[in-house]
Amino acid sequence: MGYLFDPANWEWVITGNNARFLVEGFLVNVQIALVSMVLALALGLTLALLSLSRIAPVRVGAKLWIDVFRNLPLIFLILYLALSLPESVRSFWVDNAPGFLPEAMRSQLVLAGVLGLVLYNSAVLAEIMRAGVLSLDRGQREAAAALGLSYSQQMRQVVLPQGLRRMVPATVSQLVTLTKDTTLVSIIAIQEAVRSGRILSQTAGNPFVGGDVTAPILQVMIFVGVLFIAFNLALSRLSRRLETRESRRTATRAPSTVEQPAAA
């Protein structure tokens, strides 16, 4: 305990650019998280719709795809992609990455990370969305059909708005998991918060690199952890606020009987 709270072990926070160095690393995590969230939600919805399709081969294929990708460890997918993405794909990305993306997203390293995050999380999110739609009373769909709505109208105007709204809490907790999982890309050498933390703890206090203030890895990683906790708490708060506003507007409540798939 003495070691943990010893002011000498925390002095690095207010020395030089150390704290800023970590926060800049963390911003890379945030960028990767936001880009992956958008892509994973879009692909997840597509997969969910395919897995609910009336055409049997499409449905079976989509379910198989979902089951494979959500049952493999994410770090497994990221490492495999990092090792096996062909050179042509990498250089294509580096040459053609849209300019509006932040710089960290345009390197060839990040490709395997984002691809892994999207493949894994879209499968998990698809399963959540599918469960939401299936939990809806049959009568909703039948009533929509009886009113003469086409399949796509039934889906867009009746089934999806209700089914997806039920699954907002489960979806948000998966997005929190996604944000935490962005740290895994440090293992394929992308410099985000965790990697910055390791670099800082190795260089600070080293007479050859700079400074006489050491930055012990325990304290550095606690600092990084606090950044993630703050961000994720803000994310959950925000979604809860949106949910309350939404439920007041539509006068609906998420039924507590829906099985919320737990994930970690």
Partner 1 sequence: MLDLLTDNLDAFVSGLWVTTRLVGASFVVALVLGTVVAALRVSPSVALARLGGVYVEIFRNIPLLVLLFIAFAGVRRGGIDITAWTAGILSLGVYTSAYVAEALRSGVAAVSRGQVEASLSLGFTFAQTLRRVVLPQAFQTVIQPLGSITIAMVKNSAIVGASLLALPDLLKEARIINSNTFQTTESFFWAAVGYLLLTVTITIVFRVLEARYAVRR
Residues in the site for partner 1, rule: CB under 8 A? 3-4, 71-76, 79-80, 83-84, 176, 180-184, 186-187, 194, 197-198, 216-219, 221-222, 224-225, 228-229, 232-233, 259-264
Q: How far is the CB of 15 from partner 1 (least distance, A)?
A: 18
Separation of first and last alpha carbons in the chain: 29
| Residue (76 or 151) nearer to partner 1, CB | 76
Q: How far is the CB of 254 from partner 1 (least distance, A)?
A: 13
Residues 6 or more apart from 180 whose CB is under 8 A from it?
Answer: 228, 232
| Residue (72 or 97) nearer to partner 1, CB | 72
| Residue (84 or 96) nearer to partner 1, CB | 84
For 154-171, the DSSP string reads IIIIIIHHHHHHHTHHHH
Q: How far is the CB of 70 from partner 1 (least distance, A)?
A: 9
| Residue (76 or 92) nearer to partner 1, CB | 76
And the tokens for 203? 């260089």
The CA-atom distances, in angstroms, between 261 and each of 59, 121, 163, 171, 199 are: 21, 14, 14, 10, 37
Q: How far is the CB of 4 from partner 1 (least distance, A)?
A: 7
| Residue (37 or 184) nearer to partner 1, CB | 184
Q: How many CA atoms lie within 13 A of 149 on its CB side?
A: 16
Counting Cβ atoms within 10 Å, is residue 255 exposed (0-12), middle (13-18) or buried (19+)?
exposed
Q: How far is the CB of 108 from partner 1 (least distance, A)?
A: 17
